[in-house]
């Protein structure tokens, strides 16, 4: 993030503390329950948002070395990410072109040589070419050049691997897509991060709840009373939309000390947490010395799977370093589990008839914008 931006965020937050004010935009908004319950809407969201846009599949460090691979099925599409011996990161549909067997089993993290189908041993090179067909005389019309693995567009940035789960006719312009949010993230220099504490869990909630819950600070004082609330201002935050992505600066109380310091020493990462909502389904929370990522995947309208990983500067080499990061993860997940409990709680009352809509206040406007963008994109 550019220093001038950091100064602007900090100044705006200091002003909120001075005036005991919150970032309020627009009017109240109402989010109809159908958004969280309707299978047709969920199907449409999957078809558009979870097929045609770049989605976080893993940390780049999980496939850092030539021969590293990873399978991923949360989008509903079997994806294989593989760093070839040539060092190039590629993504494929993890599907044999003979009769569709899955090529690389879940959990396998190394593809040393060619990829051999376990069924009839059709063999694919690491760049996807079909290079071997036993008893090839049985397939007189087979054009091997046209029956390589189906390639998906993949992109490495900010220490993460993004893949578009469906093959696309046109080359996707990733830099244009991530725009200002991407430029901001790139400046944090997380490309060579190590991954730590990958965590995958399910919750009984609509996937969009993760954004309802994480794009406001109104709840901090109450839902996080015994965890992180004392560190942060009450209902404070500086919110920016880089349509379709978003950035939130969550000022910590300790930032008040910056008033005594020269602006050139101000550092937004120290002064607060910086959250990026990378459309459609990832949150990157930038903390002073690392980042946490959470990617949410719908499993029907009322279930979601959250895939998370921490990006830390380097793999810990000592027990002391491991203890440090373990403590950090514990604090983070204790607070975040409080959020996910609330999300499940909201989802669980939706069939009660008490509400037809969820009500969003003027300082919960990022959540409102998020829903507007989702609806625009799936229209």
Footprint of Fe ion on this chain (CB under 5 A)? 339
Which of 376, 287, 283, 278 lies closest to 327, judged by CA? Answer: 287
Nearer to Fe ion, 180 or 339 (CB): 339
User: Which of Fe ion, ligand FES, none does 310 bind, CB closer than 5 to 8 A by kind?
Assistant: none
User: Which of Fe ion, ligand FES, none does 166 bind, CB closer than 5 to 8 A by kind?
Assistant: none
Q: Which residues on neighbouring strands pair with residue 195, listed in sequence order?
A: 311
The Cα diameter of the chain in Å comes to 80
Nearer to Fe ion, 339 or 344 (CB): 339
User: Which of ligand FES, Fe ion, none does 339 bind, CB closer than 5 to 8 A by kind?
Assistant: Fe ion
- Least Å distance, CB 315 to ligand FES, is 36
CA-CA distance, 229 to 189, in Å (whole number)?
A: 28
User: Which of ligand FES, Fe ion, none does 117 bind, CB closer than 5 to 8 A by kind?
Assistant: ligand FES
Nearer to ligand FES, 30 or 119 (CB): 119
Q: Dihedral, CA atoms, 91, 95, 96, 99, nearest 10 degrees?
A: -160
Q: Dihedral, CA atoms, 98, 102, 105, 108, nearest 10 degrees?
A: 70
User: Which of Fe ion, ligand FES, none does 21 bind, CB closer than 5 to 8 A by kind?
Assistant: none
Nearer to ligand FES, 122 or 239 (CB): 122
Q: Establish how many alpha carbons lie within 13 A of residue 49's alpha carbon, considering only the half-sphere containing its beta carbon.
A: 26
- Least Å distance, CB 73 to Fe ion, is 28
Cβ burial of 94 (10 Å; 0-12, 13-18, 19+) is buried
Nearer to Fe ion, 130 or 209 (CB): 209
- Least Å distance, CB 101 to ligand FES, is 4
User: Which of Fe ion, ligand FES, none does 98 bind, CB closer than 5 to 8 A by kind?
Assistant: ligand FES
- Least Å distance, CB 341 to ligand FES, is 44
Nearer to Fe ion, 175 or 341 (CB): 341
Cβ burial of 140 (10 Å; 0-12, 13-18, 19+) is exposed
Q: Which residue has the tokens 């909120």?
A: 16
Count of Cβ atoms closer than 10 Å to residue 329 Cβ:
18
8 Cβ contact list (under 8 Å, min separation 6): none
Rounded to the nearest 5 percent, the helix, strand and coil shares of the chain are 35, 25, 40
CA-CA distance, 42 to 218, in Å (whole number)?
A: 27
Residues that bind ligand FES (CB under 6 A): 96, 98-99, 101, 117, 119-122
- Least Å distance, CB 227 to Fe ion, is 9
State residue 253 phi and psi, 5-degree precision: -60, -30
Q: Which residues on neighbouring strands pair with residue 201, listed in sequence order?
A: 306
Which DSSP symbol is given to 74? T
Nearer to ligand FES, 120 or 204 (CB): 120
User: Which of ligand FES, Fe ion, none does 96 bind, CB closer than 5 to 8 A by kind?
Assistant: ligand FES
User: Which of Fe ion, ligand FES, none does 101 bind, CB closer than 5 to 8 A by kind?
Assistant: ligand FES
Nearer to ligand FES, 119 or 201 (CB): 119
Which DSSP symbol is given to 110? B
């Amino acid at each position: 993030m550019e220093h001038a931006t950091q100064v602007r965020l900090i100044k705006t937050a200091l002003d909120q503390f001075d005036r005991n004010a919150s970032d309020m935009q627009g009017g109240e908004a109402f989010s109809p329950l159908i958004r969280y319950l309707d299978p047709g809407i969920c199907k449409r969201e999957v078809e558009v948002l979870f097929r045609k846009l770049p989605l976080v599949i893993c940390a780049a460090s999980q496939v850092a070395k030539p021969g590293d691979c990873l399978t991923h099925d949360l989008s509903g599409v079997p994806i294989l990410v593989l760093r070839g011996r040539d060092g190039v990161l590629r993504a494929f549909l993890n599907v044999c072109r003979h009769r569709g067997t899955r090529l690389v089993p879940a959990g396998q993290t190394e593809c040393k040589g060619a990829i051999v189908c376990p069924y009839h041993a059709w063999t694919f090179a690491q760049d996807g070419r079909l290079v071997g067909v036993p008893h090839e005389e049985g397939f007189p019309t087979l054009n091997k050049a046209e029956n390589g693995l189906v390639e998906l567009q993949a992109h490495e940035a900010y220490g993460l691997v993004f893949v578009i789960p469906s093959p696309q006719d046109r080359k996707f312009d990733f830099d244009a897509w991530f725009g200002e949010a991407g430029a901001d993230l790139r400046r944090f220099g997380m490309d060579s991060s190590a991954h730590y504490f990958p965590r995958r869990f399910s919750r009984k909630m609509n996937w969009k709840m993760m954004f309802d819950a994480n794009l406001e600070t109104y709840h901090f004082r109450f839902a996080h009373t015994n965890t992180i609330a004392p560190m942060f201002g009450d209902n404070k935050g500086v919110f920016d939309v880089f349509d379709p992505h978003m950035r939130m600066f969550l000022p910590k109380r300790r930032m008040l000390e910056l008033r005594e310091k020269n602006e050139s020493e101000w550092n937004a990462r120290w002064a607060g947490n910086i959250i990026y909502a990378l459309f459609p389904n990832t949150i990157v929370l930038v903390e002073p010395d690392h980042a946490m990522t959470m990617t949410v995947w719908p499993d029907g309208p009322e279930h979601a799977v959250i895939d998370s990983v921490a990006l830390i500067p380097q793999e810990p080499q000592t027990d002391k370093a491991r203890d440090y990061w373990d403590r950090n993860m514990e604090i983070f997940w204790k607070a975040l589990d409080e959020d996910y409990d609330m999300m499940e709680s909201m989802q669980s009352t939706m069939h009660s008839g008490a509400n037809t809509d969820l009500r969003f206040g003027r300082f919960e406007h990022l959540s409102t914008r998020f829903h507007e963008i989702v609806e625009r994109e799936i229209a």
